[in-house]
Structure 1
């Protein structure tokens, strides 16, 4: 957390308010994130105009003429657009102050996020160069997924959470997509039929699109750029509902641990 829907929600919330504005100042209160924040980030960015904010997997790419600021929200990070006089609170480590009077503030209690600068094309950066296709792109289709799963004997749920297979399908969205595709999460990935792979591709896309529309999911710290929680899990079919009746068939939702993560499924609707 945050996963693809939360990061995309954040991108959409800040891009329209910041793109085209110049950075007046970068304030780094605590540079000790997952990797140290560059000590000269203010010197690099001051006076530069933000050309675009893009997303690659769970990374935000702040595009400038002379390079790209790569931002990752980690496990507990969030970005909010605030007025320039908003008081600083605990865990608020970085401010980007813009010429249009807006201030982008980064909050991260666990400090597992990242602010990294690159002058190279970001797709060549070590953090991004080995990432799999985007699940909402044309590259992620049934042919691709069939080939990617062919040699994998691991269970299908951890397989689709692997960023080298497809990016951005976090724990919540993996459980929900497998439910919609009617596939039990313990199934070996290389045992899915062509029809099941087709259903899974469609389900992953549908779940992620719905999650983006709902502002993502909030379990602990995540809020969007306006400070609002995501509400996708309010209408979950299986996630977090262990022991409760399935919304489709009424069977009790089951749970187990897979790769240190909680998995939820319906034993009647998924096979």
Structure 2
């Protein structure tokens, strides 16, 4: 499943052509994806103008001029591509892997007129694990997709003090706590592994041990927050990790996967200078965790 940096990359790729654009015509080519489309989905979109394009956790959020928000989740294999009226890509790129071009999997096609000119924005999803919804903006915070969701890992709301309040007295292993979307929104398996390695923290360490008796965060929690910010921001800048089906809106792929320090590197040497240990893989709650047993002992 695409992680937060991948979704943010898609948002930035769609923004120039979708933000400020009018949805002239919308083709809904099936009745459902992972879930059924909302009632009168295409009709409710047609004629509307996108006033802003944002992201919350792993959701794309297109605010419309009638007060509703178009929500899109990419699922396992969902992707968008943008085609100009003449059929050329609006943002050229290097195609490292072939993207899905089978029209059978083009499930939603939005014909738009906007600042970048006329274009088609096509949602393709071979596995159909993605989904779309229309929600009134006033109901976003209480809607089941978003209610109780944690802070974003890209902003100042994620701090050592914030985590200390949620970790104090808890015995949950660090890896599980970081994947808890009620604590941090959109942080997934790849970047959790990378952040723990950078911070030198064991994935099995009880999170309560990162908080002092006074309730203040210990040094390891400070390092962890810095590491999360760094790894997420670097991945966004690099265009996402580009694992499996993820592509940017212009078809290009990111390069952050080539800089992974531990993720998917089982049996390889730890990349921390002077370490010399071998990266191991363990399974926690059914998910693979990659870590260095020598430098992640704190």
- When normalised by structure 1's length, the TM-score is 0.95
In the alignment, the residues of structure 2 paired with residue 252 and residue 56 of structure 1 have an alpha-carbon distance, to the nearest angstrom, of 36
Structure 1 match to 2:157: 139
Q: SS of the counterpart of 2:104?
A: coil
Q: Equivalent residue for 1:119? A: 136
Alpha-carbon separation, structure 1, partners of 2:27 and 2:85: 12
Q: 2:94 maps to what in 1?
A: none
Q: TM-score, normalised by structure 2?
A: 0.87
Report the counterpart of residue 199 of structure 1 in structure 2: 223
Larger CA deviation: 192-201 vs 34-43: 34-43
User: What number of residue pairs does the alignment pair up?
Assistant: 271
Cα pair 1:91 1:107 within 8 Å, conserved: yes
Aligned partners of 1:230 and 1:150: how far apart in 2?
37
The residue matched to 2:251 in structure 1 has which SS?
Answer: coil
CA RMSD of aligned residues (A): 1.5
Q: In the alignment, which of 215, 218, 230 is matched to residue 239 of structure 2?
A: 215
The secondary structure found in structure 2 opposite 1:105 is: strand
Structure 2: which 5+ runs fail to align? 88-100, 212-217
Deviation at 1:31?
2.8
Name 1:169's counterpart in structure 2.
Answer: 187
| Structure 2 partner of 1:94 | 108
- In structure 1, C-alpha distance between the alignment counterparts of 2:77 and 2:261, rounded to whole Å: 25
Please state whether the residue corresponding to 1:247 is helix, strand or coil.
Answer: coil
Q: SS of 1:13's equivalent?
A: helix
Give matches, 1:57-68, under 5 Å.
Answer: 57-66=57-66, 67-68=68-69
Would the aligned equivalents of 1:18 and 1:102 in 2 still touch at CA under 8 Å?
Answer: no
Deviations 1:1-26 (Å, cap 9, x if unpaired)? 21110110100111112211100111
Q: What's the CA shift for 1:88?
A: 5.6
Range that drifts further, 173-182 or 28-37:
28-37
SS at structure 1 position matched to 2:103: coil
For residues 152 and 75 of structure 1, the distance between their equivalents in structure 2, rounded to whole angstroms, comes to 32
State the 4+ residue runs in structure 1 displaced beyond 6 angstroms: none
